[in-house]
Structure formats: structure tokens, C-alpha cells
Structure 1
Amino acid sequence: MTRRAPESMSIALPTGRAIDAAIRPDDPGESAEVTLIEPIRPRVFESCPICGDPATSKEHIPPDRIGGKVMTRTCLPCNNRLGSNVETDLLDWVEGALSRPSLRSAAVQGPRREKRVLVRNTPEGEFVLVIDGRAHPDLKAMLESGEVDLDAVLPNWGRCCLALLKHAYLAACLTHGVLEGDVADEVRRDLIAARDAENKQSVPTSQLALGLTILRTYEPTTDEPAIRAVLHDPAGPVEGVLLAGRIFVSWSSVIPKDVPEAHGRLNRTLRVRAPVRGTVTSVES
């Protein structure tokens, strides 16, 4: 099984205080009512539902690392290459991660780079940064200097939406068979264009993906990888799919939203107080 990033942890400090750090929203936003209808069952296609080539590769819906299971088959490029181009940003968004972080400090010459930094929050609104994996040995001296410059890449929202479009589309195909019609053709065109992009940075923008209704809960409601669901909107019920018990996705765009910057970066100067040695008492993934 693919290693999952820790979602929460508790750290006991010598003062007797405990830091409870978890993936929490900066802004809780408004609540919404979603009714779960029925789990979506696996279904095997002989031809890839995305491009029509022979379906030879086992496909997780949604990605394994956020709770998906093998639910169908696609062709190898639509599984691996499309996944590589768009799903990393989905994983970073779900796991609260900053990618390609670079850290600088007067204590060490030149930058030190990590793979990812996980952002966790306390109930009091404090943030905790966790190195995902083994930290560079120079990081200790950098933190002890009292000031560290952090530069990192935020999840790309356009690619994140394309990943959700892929898995919502496949979930719909599991329920109804390979979809037909103008919208389904547009979905496939956008997914194939993302698959065939030379690299992640050249993945074209999908207006259909950016127009999806996407809701997120930070407390998983079920272990089922995909469930038919209905959002109760004042304008009427909105059908969609709940992925990994935490992400509702629908083709219908009913919730006005500000689209995050597509290629955002985070640049911050961290001022660090004297180090305190704590003990990690629990970790949940």
C-alpha cells in the first residue's frame, strides 16, 4: 500500500502543553448538506472509457493514497501518464502539502531543498510545518539561527480540478456505462489533452474542470471509495459523487467561488524561537 502522509499528530511539550496538529481549513467556510445514495461498484471495461484504447491497466478511483481502490481498467497512458500530470496536485491539496520547498538561512550557505512540507493547524489557529520524510541535516542549524526563508510551490488548482474531473467521470461511467453526449466528449477531450501534455507545466486549462462544484470535508464520512451523492442546494438537488468519503464533485456549477491562482508559490520568512524538544505521542494517517 502507498504510504500516506500523516493527517494529524499530537506533540507533548515539557511545559505540559500538547500540540494537536491536523489538516484543518484556514477558513471553515459555509456548511452544505449532502445525502449519500449508494456506493459505486467496480466495473470492468474492455476499452478505456477515456480514449477508447484497450483497457489493460488497473485504475484506482480516486487515487490509492487518499483512500481509493481498484474500481475499473483504463489504458496505461490514461492511468499513468494522465495521473502523473494532474494527480500530484490533487494529492498535495488533500494532504495539505507544499511541494519543492527551498529553505535559506544565514547559518548555512546556499539553499536546502526538501521533497515536501506538510502544513498542519492547531484548534487555536497556529500552524505547524512538518517535513515529509527525512529532513536535511542542515535544517537544525538553520532553525536555530532564528530566521528561515521558505519558498515552495502551492498545489496547482487547474490540475487538481482535472484530476477530480477524471475520477468523477470514471465514477459516472461505472454507474451508467461509458457516457455519451457533448459534455462527455468535452470531458474526454480535456483529459486526453492533459494526458498528452509534454509535462505538468504544459497541461492546458480545462474550463469544464474549473467549473466543477467541489466541496470538501476534513472528517471522512465513509470508507467507500466512491458513492453517488446529492447536494441539497437552494436552487434544487445537485447530483454528484463523493470520493474517498471527503470530496463531493458534480458537473453542475452551483456554488460561486474564487478560483485560486493557477501557478501559486508561497514565499515566507519564518522567525523561529528557541527550540523546544517535544515528544510525538500519536500520529494518524
Structure 2
Amino acid sequence: MQVTGEIAEIREAIARSRQQGCQIGCVPTMGALHAGHISLVEECRKRVDYVLVTIFVNPTQFGQGEDLDKYPRPLEADLDACRAAGVSCVYTPEIPSLYPDGYGTWVDVEGMSTILEGECRPDHFRGVTTIVAKLLNIIQPDVACFGAKDYQQQTLIRQMVRDLNMPIEVVVAPTVREADGLAMSSRNQYLSPEQRQTALCLSQALNIAEESLLAGETSIAQVEKRMLDHINSFDDVRPEYTVLRDPDTLEELKSLQPEMVALIATYVGQTRLIDNRRISLPQ
């Protein structure tokens, strides 16, 4: 497995692989890899011959007072996990190579990037779409894999790829969960044992939303309130939103529709967690 932080070396490796007839797949990450990330590698390997994982803690998607400095960076453990998963190459760039002095170009997807996560974390998605566009431009993969847990992020990335006519298939893989339902996240390691139990309130609230809708509840406001009430029944939480939205646009719903997505963001202690659930009503 090749490991490099150099753009020229990445492009040379990809060119060699293409000359051998390989299809190229990319899994962009910020490291601190867990089973959810490895599932993206496995999904990518089903489609291509050469899988490249990027590990880069992107400073431009963190706001003031967020966890950029303490974000986990266990590089050697991440590389071991990539080797075990059959990754062909890991790209580990340094900040100056991607954001040199005088850098001033940004990719901004209008509309959806200003609501929900975008409202809670201003400029977050500008940083996300910019770094993903840069990585896709450097690597120029045939396939790029993202996780469904970051629902709004993958929706924005798919729109960016469409809008910029990138010849890339974006694959969204299902959220990987712990046995008790907690969505896997690199930030889960911030949680104390007590907070880890409290964090189950997110998946439980999503269960409540789905069960309410399947039982015949027709009030969107009531479903959202039930999610919020469940989150607030726990100590040491600070919910930011519990909503039911259109799965493609994330716009507010005026009435129920066959396909919807429930989305939650809340702090548990000082750790901010998100989760979501696609909900299909019987026809």
C-alpha cells in the first residue's frame, strides 16, 4: 500500500493504474477510521480495482470554537486499518499543499448549504465542498464513496458533482451502527460512558418518528415534537434541531409524502452528534 502526501505522486500512481486498465475509487475521510469508514472502502472495492483513501483533517470546515485542535489523528492505526481493508493508496496531504499562502478559491453550493447544519455551522459546507472538489480534482476517480450518516453533506456533494459536470459516480453507503443503534462516528470517542448511553437518544428519537408515521400520525409538527421531547428527556443534552424534511431538497414539508428523512443534531455534553433516518410510507 502506497502512502504519500504529494500531489505529483498521487497522480503518477493513478496514471500507472489507469494504464493497467484499473478503475479508480476514492474514499475521502478525516481519519480516525472506524467500521463505518471501512464499509465505504468495501463498497468502493465492489466497483473498482484501485481504492484510494484520503486522510486530511480539513481546517476550513471547522468553525471558531469547534474541535479542530482536538480532533483525533491516529494516523498509524488508520494506515493499519487501510492495509487490512485492501486499500491501494492513502493520500495524507499537509495543509500548505492544499491551502497555500494566498489561497482564495471556494466552492459554495447555494441554497441547501445555509439550512440545518449550514445554519448551525456557518461556512462549514463551503469548507466541505471546497476540499472535496479539490480532492476529486487531484485524484479524478471514477467512483467516490460517502456515508449516509452525514446526510446533508452527501446530498450537497452529489449536487456539486452534478452542477460541475464531474464524470464521477457518487456512491452513498448506509450508516453503520453499533449493536445498540448508535451511529458510528469518530467523535463518539469524546463521550464518557454515561454520555455514550445518553447518545442513544438520537437513534431512539428516529425510531419514534418512524413508528409514529407508520402508525398513522399525519402531523409533521407532532412528529418533530415527539423527537424533540425524547431528546430533552435526557440530562446533559442540547438539541439543535429535530426535523422531518424532503429527502432530496431538505426543504420543509407542508404535508406528508411517500419518502421523507428525519434529521437530528444535538450536543451530548460537549460533543455534537448528528443522525438521520430515511422513512418510507406504505403506498
TM-score, normalising length: structure 2: 0.22
Between Structure 1 and Structure 2, whose CA radius of gyration is higher? Answer: 1
Relative to its length, the structure with more helix (as a share) is: 2
TM-score, normalising length: structure 1: 0.22
